[in-house]
Structure 1
Amino acid sequence: MTTPTITSTTSLRDRRPNALREGWLIAGRDALHWVREPWGIIFGLAFNIMLILLFGFLFGGAIDVPGGGDYIAYLLPGMFALTMLFGLETTMTAMAEDAKRGITDRFRSLPIASASVALGRAIADLASSALSLAVLMLGGLLIGWRPTTGPAEIALAIVLLLWLRFAMLWLGIFLGLRFSGPGATTAVQVLVWPVGFLSTVFVSAETMPGWLGAIAEWNPVSATATAARELFGNPTGTTSGWLAENAVLAASVWPLVLTAVFLPLATAAYRRLRR
């Protein structure tokens, strides 16, 4: 009489993927890259600090803030928002490099959830941006910037800044997967700089020609910058108009719209990668 043998070996293909756990593991892999090669983060921070010093102390004396107030107090929240936008290039470059070197294809061959790779990149880049924001806020305190509101308003301002970065993450992931050629990074830089400067980061829209000021006011970066200024208790540079009364609403809705558009596009681009 023979007894049937029961095997306890489970095929990797039968293992149920856990996107959140796998995303954390991939985020840890990305964080190790920064520990080994921190120069990208360091140079990025140095560049943003240079912009603060350049505009705050070299040009700031010649810039008046509508409604009154210190220019440094006006500038710093705008620079925080601009830093969240600049993170787009970092995300896009990292995703494009992984796709070009075949690392993304290796992840696709593993029995993991399809969302894990993008989720890992999002977690890692959001953590990096939170650290960069903390460093910039500390630097701002050292040169005289001060929030004048309570802890709840300050916390909400930080959440809205990171909310903008979260939306930029999915745009960066989509661009990195969709356009990985040698000129892709340059193309993103050409896109990011006009968007960053055609905003209220450095000057108020009220100092611009009417048509240009209207474009600047509807910039997502302007919405987040104005909301952060309001919540930090700093001069907003906006004395009238829709944005003056609805900055927090605009800063909440714009990233939601961008995420709703580019998160599905990023997911589809990942699934189509070298199919």
Structure 2
Amino acid sequence: MSTTTLVPEHNPEPAAGGTLLADGLAMTGRHLQKIRAAPGVLILTQTMPITMLLFFGYVFGSALAVPGQEYRAFLVPGLLAATAANGLMTGMFMAAQDCDRGVMDRFRTLPMSRAAVPLGATASELLTTAVGLVPLTLVGLAAGWRIEGGAAAALGAFGLLLLFRFATSWAGYWLGLLIRNEEAAGQVGSATFVLPLLSSAYIPTDGMPGWLRAVAEWNPISALAAATRDLFGNAAPVADAAWPSAHPVAGTLAWAAVLLAVFVPLTVRRYAGGGRG
């Protein structure tokens, strides 16, 4: 008498289990280990602002004038803001790389929260950025920049920088899930280099043509750069600025809230849909 062994059919949908916090922490650890094993992208993104500080601060510094202050005092907060906005590029690259290598498909078969994978990636971005801001700040201080606004205001500035990095990482992660190709994400990510150039990160907006000034002052990076200058005590007043630049702290908080409100649900839906949603 023969017996038949019943083999359960594979279910592509993961079983319910895990909590968002526990799963998110696990995925954060995975991304941190990945960065530790292959730190090339992290090193590049962290050393580029320092290179630009030395280049702009010493090569172009004598040719660029900012009314009422020394150029490096204007430049360093702008570079910190540009570094925070770089979450768009790194988030995009992380997601596209995992999609291109089939890692995302394996994650979807695991019994964990659908939001855990993007949350872990963006949380790891937040932690690495917190560490990465330290050398840029120290080099800026060595170059002559000073924090004039007090310790509490300075902590508020760093808090805004990390909040903005977290928000842009979600936007970048959604784009990476959309692109799904590592090489294409690298090409698109390199194009994001132009975004800080169309802002007040490196030069004041009051000398720009009218249409370009409007674009720059509504650029979220401009609000963040102005907010960090304000909180660090390096504020350079801008006459008749657009609302985000005239109220930079509130403008930065508003931009971060909009980015998170839009891209957190879009990213989770895109990930859960396997690239179809």
The answer to whether the 8 Å contact 2:238/2:246 transfers is no
Q: Could you tell me which residue of structure 2 aligns to residue 193 of structure 1? A: 193
C-alpha distance in 1, partners of 2:268/2:244? 32
1:244: how far off? 5.4
Q: Could you tell me which residue of structure 2 aligns to residue 106 of structure 1? A: 106
1:252: how far off? 0.9
The answer to whether the 8 Å contact 2:72/2:144 transfers is yes
Q: Could you tell me which residue of structure 1 aligns to residue 274 of structure 2? A: 273
More helix by share: 1
C-alpha distance in 1, partners of 2:32/2:52? 26
TM-score (norm 2): 0.89
Equivalent residues in 2 for 1:52-67 (5 A)?
52-66=53-67
Q: Could you tell me which residue of structure 1 aligns to residue 87 of structure 2? A: 87
1:45: how far off? 1.9
1:73: how far off? 0.5
RMSD: 1.6
Q: Could you tell me which residue of structure 2 aligns to residue 210 of structure 1? A: 210
1:180: how far off? 1.6
| Paired-residue identity, % | 38
The answer to whether the 8 Å contact 1:17/1:113 transfers is yes
Letter of the 2:18 partner, please give it.
P
The answer to whether the 8 Å contact 1:73/1:235 transfers is no
Matched residue count: 261
1:122: how far off? 1.1
Query: 1:176/1:274 Cα in 2 relative to 1: closer, same or farther (>3 Å)?
Result: closer
Q: Could you tell me which residue of structure 2 aligns to residue 250 of structure 1? A: 251
C-alpha distance in 1, partners of 2:274/2:218? 34
Structure 2 gaps, min length 5: 1-13
Q: Could you tell me which residue of structure 2 aligns to residue 6 of structure 1? A: none
Q: Could you tell me which residue of structure 2 aligns to residue 136 of structure 1? A: 136
Equivalent residues in 2 for 1:1-275 (5 A)?
16-66=17-67, 68-181=68-181, 182-190=183-191, 192-236=192-236, 238-241=238-241, 242-243=243-244, 245-273=246-274
Structure 1 gaps, min length 5: 1-12
Letter of the 1:40 partner, please give it.
V
The answer to whether the 8 Å contact 2:93/2:189 transfers is no
C-alpha distance in 2, partners of 1:38/1:274? 27
The answer to whether the 8 Å contact 1:24/1:120 transfers is yes
- 3-state SS, counterpart of residue 61 of structure 1: coil
Letter of the 1:188 partner, please give it.
G
The answer to whether the 8 Å contact 2:245/2:251 transfers is no
1:15: how far off? 5.9
1:274: how far off? 5.5
- 3-state SS, counterpart of residue 54 of structure 2: helix
C-alpha distance in 2, partners of 1:156/1:187? 32
